[in-house]
Amino acid sequence: NAVTTSSEQSVTTAQDQTTTAATVSTVSDAAEENAVTTSSEQSVTTEQEETTASTTASTVSGAAEENAVTTSSEQSVTTAQEQAIAATTASTVSGAAEENAVTTSSEQSVTTAQEETTGATTASTVSDTAEENTVTTSSEQNLTTAQEETTAATTASTVSDATEQDEATTSSEQSVTTAQEDTATSTTSLPVNSESSEAPHSSVSDFMKKEWDWWLRWSENCMTDFIEKWYTWNSEVANQCNMRKV
């Protein structure tokens, strides 16, 4: 029994060991298989994850690139629009500036033309006024000269007339005195009688009548001619004086 038991035990032990070894081997195989499976699954998972990550990264990169391209395009469009707006604005501003410049230039030209016209009108007015003043002054001078000449002629004529009258009066007085002296002489030399007493009076009367007639003829003829000649001479002298003044 002991041997049997020992054999059985040995068999059992051997069986147990075999079972254990088989179990261990099975467990080990299973573990290895599990490990391999796990490793494969992990590899597959890793590959899938890497693929997914790559795809995601590619997708993200593509999206980013698309976004970048889109953004760049939008920016280009925006930039182009801004540039177009800026160019249009600049052109508009430039056009407005040119219009303002042209308008300002036109206004300045108009203003300059108006100022020149005003200046010319003023100058013309001043010139006309100066000419009118000159003409007026010349006319006044001519009138004054004429008045002075007339006054001088009148004064000279008056003085001449007065001188001639004085000379005529003196001549008449001398004639009267001479006649009186002659009468006195003849009266003294003639005898005093009724017949001869009439002679002196008649001779004095005749003499005075002849003297007066001569004086009238001289006044009418010679005096008139003298006054005309004197006035002509005085006018010539006055004209020469005026020419020297000018």
Q: Is residue 151 part of a domain?
A: yes
Q: Is residue 129 part of a domain?
A: no
**HSE value, Cβ hemisphere, 13 Å, CA-based, for 156:** 18
Q: Are 160 and 228 in contact (CB under 8 A)?
A: no
Domain around 225: 139-186+200-245
In the predicted model, is pLDDT for residue 123 greater than 70?
Answer: no
The span from the CA of 111 to the CA of 109, in Å, is 5
Q: Is residue 127 part of a domain?
A: no
Q: Is residue 205 part of a domain?
A: yes
- Read off the pLDDT of residues 49-83 as tens digits, 9 standing for 90 and up: 777 777 777 777 777 777 777 777 777 777 778 88
In the predicted model, is pLDDT for residue 40 greater than 70?
Answer: yes
| The predicted structure's pLDDT at residue 193 | 44
Q: Is residue 172 part of a domain?
A: yes
In the predicted model, is pLDDT for residue 150 greater than 70?
Answer: no
pLDDT band at 175 (very low <50, low <70, confident <90, very high): low
- Read off the pLDDT of residues 201-242 as tens digits, 9 standing for 90 and up: 567 778 888 888 888 887 777 777 777 788 788 788 778 777
- Read off the pLDDT of residues 182-192 as tens digits, 9 standing for 90 and up: 655 544 444 44
* Closest to 207 measured CA to CA, from 166, 177, 168: 177
Single-letter amino acid, residue 194: S
| The predicted structure's pLDDT at residue 192 | 44
**First vs last C-alpha separation in the chain:** 191
What total number of domains does the chain contain?
1
Q: Is residue 193 part of a domain?
A: no
Q: Is residue 154 part of a domain?
A: yes
Q: Is residue 236 part of a domain?
A: yes
- Read off the pLDDT of residues 96-120 as tens digits, 9 standing for 90 and up: 667 776 666 667 766 676 777 666 6
